[in-house]
Structure 1
Amino acid sequence: MTRHLSHEERREQILQAAEALFIEKGYEAARINDIAERAGLSKGAIYFRYESKRDLFIDCIRHHFEEVQEIALGDGTARTQGLEDLLGVAERFARFVEKSPSSSKFMLVMTEAAVRDEEIRTLLVEHYHRPIVAAIGVALRGDAMPLFSAMKLDEIDPELATLAQLVKSVIDGLSGSYAIGQPIDLNAVIRIGYQAISVLSAVSPRIAASG
Structure 2
Amino acid sequence: MPPIVSEEYKEKKKEQILTSALACFAQKGFTAATIDDIVAHSGISKGSIYNYYKSKDDIYIDLLNTNTSHYMEQITEQFSKLHSAIDKITFLFDHYINVDPQDEQRLGYVSVFYEFIFHSTRDEDIHALVTKRKNHLLKLMKDIIEQGQQAGEVKKELDPELYAYKFWIMIDGVSIQSVFADSPYHNVLAMLKQTYLEEIKG
The TM-score normalised by the length of structure 1 is 0.73
For 1:81 and 1:95, the matched residues in 2 are separated by 21
Match of 2:44 among 41, 44, 51: 41
Match of 2:62 in 1: 59
- Percent of residue pairs bearing the same amino acid type: 21
Judged with a 3 Å threshold, the aligned counterparts in structure 2 of structure 1 residues 22 and 130 are, in CA distance, closer, same or farther, namely: same
State the Cα distance separating 1:110 from its structure 2 match: 2.2
1:133 aligned onto 2:113: no
For 1:122 and 1:165, the matched residues in 2 are separated by 18
Aligned letter for 2:112?
F
Render the CA deviation track for 1:34-76: whole Å, top value 9, x for unaligned: 1111112221221121122222222122122223223433458
For 2:173 and 2:56, the matched residues in 1 are separated by 29
Match of 2:178 in 1: 178
Match of 1:115 in 2: 121
For 1:163 and 1:192, the matched residues in 2 are separated by 13
Residue segments in structure 1 that go unaligned for 5+ positions in a row: 145-156, 203-211
State the Cα distance separating 1:180 from its structure 2 match: 4.4
For 1:79 and 1:125, the matched residues in 2 are separated by 28
Aligned letter for 1:198?
E
Match of 1:11 in 2: 14
Match of 1:147 in 2: none
SS of residue paired to 1:142: helix
- What are the equivalent positions in structure 2 for 1:135-150 lying under 5 Å apart? 135-143=140-148
State the Cα distance separating 1:13 from its structure 2 match: 1.0
Match of 1:166 in 2: 166
Number of aligned positions between the proteins? 186
Asked whether the equivalents of residues 36 and 43 of structure 1 are also in contact (C-alpha less than 8 Å), the reply is: yes
Match of 2:189 in 1: 189
State the Cα distance separating 1:111 from its structure 2 match: 0.9
SS of residue paired to 1:6: helix
Render the CA deviation track for 1:5-29: whole Å, top value 9, x for unaligned: 7222211111011112223323332
Aligned letter for 2:135?
R
The TM-score normalised by the length of structure 2 is 0.76
Render the CA deviation track for 1:126-162: whole Å, top value 9, x for unaligned: 12x2122222222223349xxxxxxxxxxxx993312
Instruction: Report the RMSD for the aligned CA atoms in angstroms.
Output: 2.9
- After TM superposition, the runs of 4+ consecutive aligned structure 1 residues lying more than 6 A away are none
Asked whether the equivalents of residues 102 and 179 of structure 1 are also in contact (C-alpha less than 8 Å), the reply is: no
Aligned letter for 1:174?
V
Aligned letter for 2:140?
A
For 1:18 and 1:85, the matched residues in 2 are separated by 33
